[in-house]
Amino acid sequence: MINVHIDGQRCKGCYLCIAVCPRKSLGVAAVLNKKGVKPVEFKKGAECIGCRFCATMCPDCCIEIEKE
């Protein structure tokens, strides 16, 4: 089981992580964050293979990944 933690308040909405996710598991949230952008969220029920592409790409270091 792999958990992806995204700091939605720090996300600036560049969506570079969405573009690199090989499983298309990341999407745009419906609600704005404090910065006024729709942050990235991990899609419900989506799978993560732990490739770390999203965290490698994120310019704002918003993503942490944990493995059980």
Partner 1 sequence: MEKIYAHPQSLYNVSSHYCAGCGHGIAHRLVAEAVDELGIREKVIAIAPVGCAVLAYDYWNFDCTEAAHGRALAVATAIKRVRPDNVVFTYQGDGDLAAIGTNETIHTANRGENLTVIFINNAVYGMTGGQMAPTSLIGQKTATTLKGRDPALQGYPLKISELLAQLPGVKYVERVALISPAEINKARQAVLLALRNQIEGVGFSLVEMLSPCPTYWGMSAQAAMGWIKETMIKEFPLGRIK
Tell me which residues touch partner 1 (CB under 8 A). 2-3, 9-10, 12-16, 19-20, 35, 37, 50-53, 55-61, 63-68
For the bound state, the minimum distance from the C-beta of residue 42 to partner 1, rounded and expressed in Å, comes to 14
Q: Nearer Cβ to partner 1, position 14 or 46? A: 14
Q: Nearer Cβ to partner 1, position 30 or 61? A: 61
Alpha-carbon span 10 to 33, nearest angstrom: 8
Cα distances from 39 to residues 1, 28, 36, 51, 68, in angstroms, run: 23, 6, 9, 21, 25
For the bound state, the minimum distance from the C-beta of residue 41 to partner 1, rounded and expressed in Å, comes to 16
